[in-house]
Amino acid sequence: MSREELIKDTVEKLRQLSDFRIQEVSDYVSFLASKIDDKIISEGIKTLASSSKSYEFLHNEEDLYQVSDVKEKYQ
For 19-65, what is each residue's pLDDT tens digit? 999 999 999 999 999 998 888 999 988 888 888 888 777 777 777 88
DSSP, collapsed to helix, strand or coil, labels residue 38 as helix
Residue 30 forms part of a structural domain? yes
Residue 41 forms part of a structural domain? yes
Residue 14 forms part of a structural domain? no
Alpha carbon of residue 66 to chain centroid? 36
Spatial contact of 22 and 29, defined as CB atoms under 8 Å apart: no
Better-predicted residue by pLDDT, 12 or 55: 12
Residue 34 forms part of a structural domain? yes
Structural domain harbouring 46: 19-50
Residue 29 forms part of a structural domain? yes
**Structural domains in the chain (count):** 1
DSSP code for 18: -
Given this model, what pLDDT does residue 22 score?
A: 95
